[in-house]
Structure 1
Amino acid sequence: MTAATPVSTVSTRMPPGVLALAVGAFAIGVTEFIVVGILPAIAKDLGISIESAGSLVSLYALALAIGTPLLVIAMSRLPRKGALLGLMSVFLAGNLLAALSHSFEILLFGRVITAVAHGAFFAIGATVAAGLVPKAQAGRAISVMFAGLTLAMVIGVPLGSFLGNLFGWRLPFFAVVLLAALGLAAMARWLPTGLPQGAGGKAATQLAALASGPILTMMAVTAFGFGSSFAAFTFITPILTDITGFSTTTASALLIVFGAATFSGNLAGGYLSSHYGWQKALRIMLLALAVTQVGVALSISSQWLMPVMLFIWGFFAFGLSPALQAGMLSTAERYTPKAVDFASGLNISAFNLGISFGSMLGALMVSRHLMAASPWAGMVAALLALLPLAWLARKNLASHVAGAGAH
C-alpha cells in the first residue's frame, strides 16, 4: 500500500494531512450532489426534460467510473502529494467551465472533466489517508476523509440548492471553484511532502486486478449497495415537491436533514468498520438500508413522516461508505497486493457505476410516471448486495483457513 510512516502507533488524533484531504473531499461532495438540488432549475433554463437533466448525475457517475481506474494507472508512479494537487486543479477547471456554460452540452462536458479528476482523487486519497495512521485506525481515517464529502451534504448542497434556485443554478458552481481553491491550499499546506511515489506495479500487473474474482465481487457489493439509493435520491427534489407536496424552498431545507444524516452515518460507519470489521458492518448497514427504503416508499406522501425517513435513509445510505472502501483495501491487500491503488480506483468506479445505474433506473421510472415507486427499486438493490458480500466472506474464511494450515 502507498503509505507514509504513521506518526504514532498510539495516538488517536487524526494527522492534519487527513483533514486536508477532507477539505478537498468537501469541495468534491458539493459538486457531485449539487445538481440534485437544482435539477428542475437547470431543466427549465436549458429547455430540457427533468429526466434528461438527470443525466447530469448518471453520466457524471459513468464518466467517473470509466475514467478513474485509467487515470489511477497513468498516475501510479507519481508522488502522491503532487498527484492529488494536480487532480484538484483539474477539478477546479471543470467546475469553472460548468459555471460559465450556456448549453447542456458544455455543462455536461465540464461535468465529465470534473468527474474524472474526482474519482482519481478519492482513489489515491483513500490509500494516503489510510497510510497516514496506524493500520487499526485505517477505517476511521477513511471515514474522516469521507466526512468532508458528507459534510458537503449537510452544508454545501442545501445552501447551494437554496441559492441556486433563488439566484440561478450557475452560482453554486462558482462557489465550488472557490472551495476547490481552498482545498488546494489546505493540501499544499498540510499534506506531508515525504509521501512516497505510488507503489503500484506495471500497468499489466495492476490491470490483472480486473480478473480477480474477489476484487470484482467487492465492486458488486459497492455498486448494488451504495447505488441502491440513487433511483430515488437523484429525483429527491421533484419527489418532495410533486409527491410529498413541499415547496421548493422547503425541499432545499430538507436536504439539510438528509445531509446531517449522511454525516452522522459516515462517522458511525467508520466506527462499526474499525470495531466490528468491515464485513459485519456492511451486513448491518445493508439490511437496515433495505428496510429504510421500504419506509421511505410507504411515507412518500406524508409531510410528517418523510423528513424523519429522510434522516434515517441518509444515515444508512452513506454509512456504507467507510466499510465499502475499507473492504476493498483489505481485499486488495490480500488478493492483489501490487495493485492496491488501482483496486481502490476500481471501488470508486463501483460507487459511481451504482450511482449511474440507479439514476438511469430512476429516470426510466420517472419517464413512466413511477417516481413514487423508485424507493422500492432501491430496496431490491440493497438486498442484492448481500449476495456477493456473503460469497466474499466465505472466500476470505477459506483463504484464512488455508493460510493457517500452511503455517
Structure 2
Amino acid sequence: MKRILYVLALGIFGIATTEFGVIGILPQIATAFNITTDKAGWLLSAFALIIAVSGPFVTLFFSSWNRKQSMILVLAVFTGGNIIAALSTSFPMLLIARMLPAFMHPVYWSNGLTMAANSVPEAESPKAVSIVFGGFTIASVLGVPLATWMADLFSWQASFLLCAVVNGISFLGLLLFLPDMPGVKTSFGTQLQVLRKPALWVSLGLACLIVAAMYASYGYMAVYLREVTRMNGAQISMMLLVFGITGVAGNWLAGKLLSRSRLYTTMGFIGLLLLTHVLLYFAGIYMVPMIVMVCLWGFIHTGGFLISNINVTTMAPEAPELVNSIFTSCGNLAVTIGATVGGVTIAHAGVHQIMWTSVVLLLLSLVVVCAANYKRLARMV
C-alpha cells in the first residue's frame, strides 16, 4: 500500500515543481522575451489564479471519471505543457503553455489526496496524506532549486524540459503501479450539498488565515535574509535548502500528531509558528541565531498545509474530491493574499517588520480555532 502512496507523492512532486520551479528563472525569461520581471511573474500568478477560480468546477466535471485515468491524463497534460513551454518562441505562447496544465492541477491534487486517505483505516489517514504531501515538500527542497540550477547551467528551456521529464516519470509510475479506481457516481447537486455545512466554511476560513500567515513571511524569506540578516546569495540558497529539509521531518511529525488529536495539533501548530515568528523578528539581525531559527521555522511551517487540509476534509467526508479541490483553490487564494499583505507591509514598514504580519494573521487563526471549539475547550478547563 505504501508503494501507491509514494507513486502519488511522485506525481505531486512533478506538479509542484512545475508550478513553483518558474520562480527561479523569471529574470532569464524576462531577458529572453524583452519584458519586465513583473510581467514574467504572470507565469506564476496566472497559474495560481486559474487553480483558485476553476478548481472546484473542473474537479466536479472529472468526478465520475476513473481516478487512475483522470490522474494519468493530468500528468500527460503537464508533460506536454512543459515541452511546449520549452519550445515557446514568444511570451504569449509560453504563458498559454503554463496556463493549460493549471486547469488540470486540482484534479490530481483532489484525487491523489482522496486516494491516500481512503487507502488506509480512518485513524491512519493523516499519516497517509502526509506521505503524499511529502511530494510537495520535497519539490520545494529539490525540485525548485534543481529547476533553477538547470536554467543556470544550460538555459531557461532546460528547466521546463526537466519538469517534463519528472512529470513523464510520474505518468509511467501511475500507469504501471496505480490500481484502477472508479470515480464517484454521485450527482453534482448531491456533492454540492456539503457547501451548506457551516463547519466546512469555518475550516476553510481557518485554512485561508493559516496559509496566508505562512506565506506573508515565507514568500519574502530570501529578501528578509538578504536585507535584515545580511546573508549573501550562497548563504540564502543554503538556508532555503535547510528550511526544506527540516520541513520534510515536520510534515511527517504533523501527520503522526494529527492521528492522535486534530484540535491539539492545530492549536499547537499555530502557537509554535506564532512564537517562531516573534523569535525570527528578534533574531533577524544576528547570523548564527537566524540559522538556528530557519531550521525551526522550516520544521514547523511545512505542517501547515497538511493540518489545514485535514481540518477541511474531515468536515465533509461524503464529497472528498470536491472538498479537496475547494481546499486547493482556497490554498492558492491564501498564498496570493499572504504575499500581497506581506508586500504591503514591506512597502510601508520595511522588510524587518514582515514577521509581525504573520503574527497578526496567526493570532486571528487562533481566535477562529478557539471560537469554533469553545464548548470542547470549556469542558477541558
Distance 1:370 1:65, change over 3 A: same
Distance 1:397 1:108, change over 3 A: farther
Verify: 1:197 aligned to 2:183, yes or no.
yes
Q: Which amino acid aligns with 2:269?
A: M
Residues 4-47 of structure 1 show CA distances to partners (whole Å, capped at 9, x for unaligned) of: xxxxxxxxxx4321111011011122223323444555555555
Supply the distance in 2 between the matched residues of 1:239 and 1:105 (Cα, whole angstroms): 33
Aligned ranges 1:112-151 → 2 under 5 Å: 112-151=99-138
- Residue in structure 2 matched with residue 279 of structure 1 by the alignment: 263
- Residue in structure 1 matched with residue 302 of structure 2 by the alignment: 318
Supply the distance in 1 between the matched residues of 2:350 and 2:152 (Cα, whole angstroms): 25
Q: CA deviation at 1:164?
A: 3.1
Q: CA deviation at 1:136?
A: 1.5
Distance 1:192 1:256, change over 3 A: same
Distance 1:92 1:381, change over 3 A: farther
Supply the distance in 2 between the matched residues of 1:244 and 1:48 (Cα, whole angstroms): 31
Q: CA deviation at 1:381?
A: 1.6
Could you tell me whether the CA contact under 8 Å between 2:147 and 2:163 is conserved in 1? no
Q: Which blocks of at least 5 consecutive residues in structure 1 are unaligned?
A: 1-13, 399-407
Q: Which amino acid aligns with 2:160?
A: F
Aligned ranges 1:7-406 → 2 under 5 Å: 14-43=1-30, 54-101=41-88, 104-193=91-180, 195-199=181-185, 201-275=186-260, 277-333=261-317, 337=318, 339-366=319-346, 370-394=350-374
Residues 161-201 of structure 1 show CA distances to partners (whole Å, capped at 9, x for unaligned) of: 334345444432221110000111111111112x12224x2
Name the SS for the 2:235 alignment partner. helix
Could you tell me whether the CA contact under 8 Å between 2:48 and 2:102 is conserved in 1? yes
Could you tell me whether the CA contact under 8 Å between 2:227 and 2:351 is conserved in 1? no
Q: Which amino acid aligns with 1:348?
A: T
Question: Bigger shift: 175-184 or 348-357?
Answer: 348-357
Supply the distance in 2 between the matched residues of 1:372 and 1:168 (Cα, whole angstroms): 34
Could you tell me whether the CA contact under 8 Å between 2:211 and 2:338 is conserved in 1? no
Residues 297-333 of structure 1 show CA distances to partners (whole Å, capped at 9, x for unaligned) of: 3333433233322222222221122222222221102
TM-score by length of structure 1 reads 0.83
Supply the distance in 2 between the matched residues of 1:382 and 1:78 (Cα, whole angstroms): 39
Give me the identity figure in percent: 29
Distance 1:364 1:58, change over 3 A: farther
Q: Which amino acid aligns with 1:287?
A: G
Q: Which amino acid aligns with 1:281?
A: T
Q: Which blocks of at least 5 consecutive residues in structure 2 are unaligned?
A: none
Q: Which amino acid aligns with 2:245?
A: A
Residues 73-99 of structure 1 show CA distances to partners (whole Å, capped at 9, x for unaligned) of: 001111111111111122223333433
Distance 1:307 1:41, change over 3 A: farther
Could you tell me whether the CA contact under 8 Å between 1:130 and 1:141 is conserved in 2? yes
Supply the distance in 2 between the matched residues of 1:119 and 1:226 (Cα, whole angstroms): 17
Q: CA deviation at 1:63?
A: 1.8
Corresponding residue pairs, total:
378
Supply the distance in 2 between the matched residues of 1:161 and 1:362 (Cα, whole angstroms): 24
Supply the distance in 2 between the matched residues of 1:262 and 1:358 (Cα, whole angstroms): 19
Name the SS for the 1:331 alignment partner. coil
Could you tell me whether the CA contact under 8 Å between 1:15 and 1:133 is conserved in 2? no
Supply the distance in 2 between the matched residues of 1:104 and 1:249 (Cα, whole angstroms): 30
Distance 1:391 1:369, change over 3 A: closer
Supply the distance in 2 between the matched residues of 1:365 and 1:166 (Cα, whole angstroms): 35
